[in-house]
Structure 1
Amino acid sequence: MMQPKGSILELCQVVRDMELALDHWTRVMGAGPFFVFDVPVLPGQIYRGAPTQVAMKVAFGFSGGLLIELLQQTNDGPSVFTEMLDRYGEGYHHVMLRIPYDDGVARLSGEGYAMAFSGRMPSGERFALFDTREGNGGYVELMEISTAMEALLDRMHAAHCAWDGIDRPVRSIADLG
């Protein structure tokens, strides 16, 4: 079962070498399979109040009901990802809450946390990362999860549940149809 609504859906790590990270998470941690894809510069990206352009390679895979994201920035645009890598190195970056976007923005803003990075997915869904490092050592991500995105997550989770831990640990996002 995937993490229920109202809980932490995702744990993200920033990495410098996607292949090494994928090997560790599949072989050592037993998570996967991972679905890898390139993310171009998304519309309207804002980093700490200023426009930015960030491109990345990401991999998503499940460990039980928890979605694991591995993220490697592929350009030099200023971002929360390079901010964390430069200061702390590879490792934990953020969790994503599975709550309605506007409710999450109100909650985190109301607690005094600053929106550090935001933008829109190609299909229009908003996303934001809040700087909560003083409370949890990382950031908190919020995202509007559309019906199509929910279906994609369901297919990833089904692939995880059916996976034998060996066959094709790294796959293309296109494999999900």
Structure 2
Amino acid sequence: MSRVFGEISQIGYVVRDIRASMDHWISHGVGPWFYLEKVELDYFRYRGADSPLEMSAAVANSGGIQIELIQQRNDAPSVYRDFLTAGREGAQHVAYWTSDYQTLYDKALSLGYRVAQEGLLGGGRFAYLDTEHDPGTMIEISDTGSVKGELFAFVREATATWDGTKPIIEL
């Protein structure tokens, strides 16, 4: 438990082949995966400048922790591209969820955190905080006071009762 951010809600993996990564997790009994081939972001900024990020994402839960897989589909500036360009692949961030996003965002900035990238997805804001002093484990804060929170609750419930059939559900 972080005294600043609360409980870790998600571990995000940046991967080169999202389908192979889903198959890997499925082989370990984690699923079903809710997969979105083309994530439609309302806006996305990298280090304060707009960036035309194209990405695919998949989520599933393992108990109370959500696993997120991200594959960037273009060469737009992002922390995902930075991670892969540095020769890394795998766990890239831990995410903390909140229904009071602005308060947590302001608190992080007041403590000296800097925003590396941020955007809006499904009415919910998110920000990745620049924590490169600990390579590969950025902090993401994410607003779950929107439709995104309802989706995340649905994913958690679906994985809790998954019987192993239909391991990938395309959204």
| TM-score bracket for this pair, using the shorter chain length | 0.7 to 0.9
Q: Unaligned 5+ residue runs, structure 2?
A: none
TM-score scaled to structure 1, two decimals? Answer: 0.85
- Give the direction of change, closer, same or farther, for the CA distance of 1:79–1:94 in structure 2 (3 Å limit): same
Which amino acid letter does the alignment assign opposite residue 130 of structure 1?
Answer: L
What aligned pairs does 1:97-108 form with structure 2 within 5 A after superposition? 97-99=96-98, 100-108=100-108
- Give the direction of change, closer, same or farther, for the CA distance of 1:106–1:136 in structure 2 (3 Å limit): farther
Q: CA deviation at 1:149?
A: 2.4
What aligned pairs does 1:132-143 form with structure 2 within 5 A after superposition? 132-135=131-134, 137-143=136-142
SS of the equivalent of 1:98 reads: strand
- Give the direction of change, closer, same or farther, for the CA distance of 1:89–1:149 in structure 2 (3 Å limit): same
Q: Unaligned 5+ residue runs, structure 1?
A: none
Q: CA deviation at 1:14?
A: 0.3
Q: CA deviation at 1:109?
A: 1.7
**In 1, are the aligned partners of 2:124 and 2:146 still within 8 Å (CA)?**
no
Q: Which residue of 2 aligns with 1:76?
A: 75
SS of the equivalent of 1:134 reads: coil
Q: Give the alignment's Cα RMSD to 1 decimal.
A: 1.9
- Give the direction of change, closer, same or farther, for the CA distance of 1:40–1:162 in structure 2 (3 Å limit): closer
SS of the equivalent of 1:128 reads: strand
Greater share of helix residues, 1 or 2? Answer: 1
- Give the direction of change, closer, same or farther, for the CA distance of 1:85–1:136 in structure 2 (3 Å limit): closer
Q: Which residue of 1 aligns with 2:156?
A: 157
Deviations 1:109-155 (A, max 9, x none): 2332210101212x432211111132474211112213432222222
**In 2, are the aligned partners of 1:42 and 1:53 still within 8 Å (CA)?**
no
Q: Which residue of 2 aligns with 1:167?
A: 165
TM-score scaled to structure 2, two decimals? Answer: 0.87
C-alpha separation between the residues in 2 aligned to 1:125 and 1:98?
A: 11
Q: CA deviation at 1:12?
A: 0.3
- Give the direction of change, closer, same or farther, for the CA distance of 1:137–1:75 in structure 2 (3 Å limit): closer
Which amino acid letter does the alignment assign opposite residue 20 of structure 1?
Answer: A
> Identity rate of aligned residues, in percent?
34
Q: Which residue of 1 aligns with 2:91?
A: 92
**In 1, are the aligned partners of 2:143 and 2:149 still within 8 Å (CA)?**
no
Q: Which residue of 1 aligns with 2:144?
A: 145
**In 2, are the aligned partners of 1:41 and 1:54 still within 8 Å (CA)?**
no
- Give the direction of change, closer, same or farther, for the CA distance of 1:14–1:98 in structure 2 (3 Å limit): same
Count of aligned positions: 166
C-alpha separation between the residues in 1 aligned to 2:117 and 2:38?
A: 15
SS of the equivalent of 2:60 reads: strand
